[in-house]
Amino acid sequence: MPKGLRIYAIGDVHGCLKELKALISLIDADTRERPVRNREIVFLGDYVDRGPKNKGVIDYLIELEAGKRKTVFLRGNHDERLARFLSEPEKVGAGFLRWGGDTTMRDYGIIMKDGEGYSAVSKRFQRKFPKSHKAFLRRLKYSHEVGDYFFVHAGIRPGVPLAKQKPSDLMWIRDEFLPSKRQHPKVIVHGHTPVSNPAVHSNRIEVDTRCYDTGRLTAVVLEGSEKRFIQTPG
């Protein structure tokens, strides 16, 4: 990290509002105990689906964005699929509902009726979905680069320059990325693939600890050459 900068990078939230608020409190406490000139909180995406408080999570993230904390919000595959379900439901409806979208809709007051098509339920969902939430989804970035680190939701395609990575890989990749031992241009900080414990590898750092199942939401703390983790207890 550049001198005087500390980054807290938070893994997949998936509707875990209670844990998210607890982790932000832990991050604030950590900053008070270890003052630093500049601080940035990077969210690695997947704010919705599976967990219980999806609407509340987006409300809270918008509140953080408007506050005094410097924040960066990346786009996860679940966030992308939510946005696409609102605009092209027939293309993504099956996957959206299969991987937790039904939980997200329910939190906004929408339950799919027997025999109801994707387009019909999407129209009802659109009427309930706040404009501020649509604008938040549009603002999400695919990547963030600071110092020797490259922050994304899922990973990168090995061998492809960072500037030429496809958004689909940044949000979805697994099989080609996770086992790769290649030294990438920068250390990749990512979520997307759940792990029992966060881990530092030679070329990447993974921080998705499946909060919706475990209650453990994790942030990796990067400052200078130091790497450490902060986590809700679960």
Contact 73, 43 (CB under 8 A): yes
Structural domains in the chain?
5-76+140-231 (3.60.21.10)
Give the pLDDT score at 68: 87
Can you tell me the distance from the alpha carbon of 46 to that of 11, in angstroms, rounded to the nearest whole number? 8
CA-to-CA separations, 155 to 21, 100, 151, 188, in angstroms, rounded = 26, 22, 8, 7
Q: Are strands 71-73 and 38-43 parallel, antiparallel or unpaired?
A: parallel
Digit-by-digit pLDDT tens for the chain (234 residues) are 999 999 999 999 999 999 999 999 999 999 999 999 999 999 999 999 999 999 999 999 999 999 989 999 999 999 999 999 999 999 999 999 999 999 999 999 999 999 999 999 999 999 999 999 999 999 999 999 999 999 999 999 999 999 999 999 999 999 999 999 999 999 999 999 999 999 999 999 999 999 999 999 999 999 999 999 999 998
Contact 46, 153 (CB under 8 A): yes
Contact 69, 30 (CB under 8 A): no
